[in-house]
């Protein structure tokens, strides 16, 4: 049976001048489709690094990562951009929203970047925001709790 997510011997090393930090060392695990997985550990254990690699925002140093049979660790920069745009989504702890844009404008900006254009109109963005009980009427990130 093919795993939905699989990490094989994943290693991630950060180099900052003379300092070398091994954030991940020989990480091996798999997740089946429909399975719920929780990643826990102390600060500095590599949780964010692992998710950044799975999300295509960072590259591993060694090893292989598969998602639904595709080896995402071998993707080119262009393929990773497409992967981030169309196949994966993140909700960040700190929302990374543009402060001088209203909530609906932040959502519309993301829709403009996406080729699929599923949320192409302000009305569609309003629907998405309202479904999450967020008023889209002029609310700026610093004044809302997403």
10-53 pLDDT, tens digit each? 999 999 999 999 999 999 999 999 999 999 999 999 999 999 99
Long-range contacts formed by 92-99: CB under 8 A, 24+ apart: 95/141, 95/146, 97/141, 97/146, 98/141, 99/140, 99/141, 99/142
82 and 132 part of one domain: no
Among 53, 86, 119, identify where a domain stops: 86
CA distance linking residue 4 with residue 32, whole number of Å: 5
Counted domains in the chain: 2
> Tokens representing 138?
């002029």
Q: What is the model's pTM?
A: 0.67
> Which domain, by its residues, includes 61?
5-86
15 and 76 part of one domain: yes
- 140: exposed, middle or buried (C-beta count within 10 Å: 0-12, 13-18, 19+)? middle
71 and 122 part of one domain: no
pLDDT in tens, 80-103: 999 988 888 777 666 677 788 887
CB 134 within 8 A of CB 144: yes
- 83: exposed, middle or buried (C-beta count within 10 Å: 0-12, 13-18, 19+)? middle
Q: Would the pLDDT of 139 be above 80?
A: no
Q: Would the pLDDT of 142 be above 70?
A: no
pLDDT in tens, 45-78: 999 999 999 999 999 999 999 999 999 999 999 9
80 and 111 part of one domain: no
């Amino acid at each position: 049976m093919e795993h939905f997510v699989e990490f094989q011997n994943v290693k991630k090393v950060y180099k900052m001048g003379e300092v070398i930090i091994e954030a991940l060392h020989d990480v091996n695990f798999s997740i089946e489709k429909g399975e719920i997985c929780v990643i826990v550990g102390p600060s500095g254990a590599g949780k964010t690094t692992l998710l950044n690699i799975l999300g295509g925002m960072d590259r591993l140093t060694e090893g292989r990562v598969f998602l639904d049979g595709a080896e995402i660790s071998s993707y080119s920069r262009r393929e990773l951009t497409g992967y981030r745009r169309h196949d994966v989504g993140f909700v960040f702890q700190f929302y990374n929203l543009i402060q001088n844009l209203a909530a609906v404008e932040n959502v519309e900006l993301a829709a403009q970047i996406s080729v699929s254009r599923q949320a192409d109109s302000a009305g569609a963005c309003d629907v998405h925001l309202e479904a999450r009980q967020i008023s889209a009427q002029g609310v700026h990130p610093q004044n809302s709790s997403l």
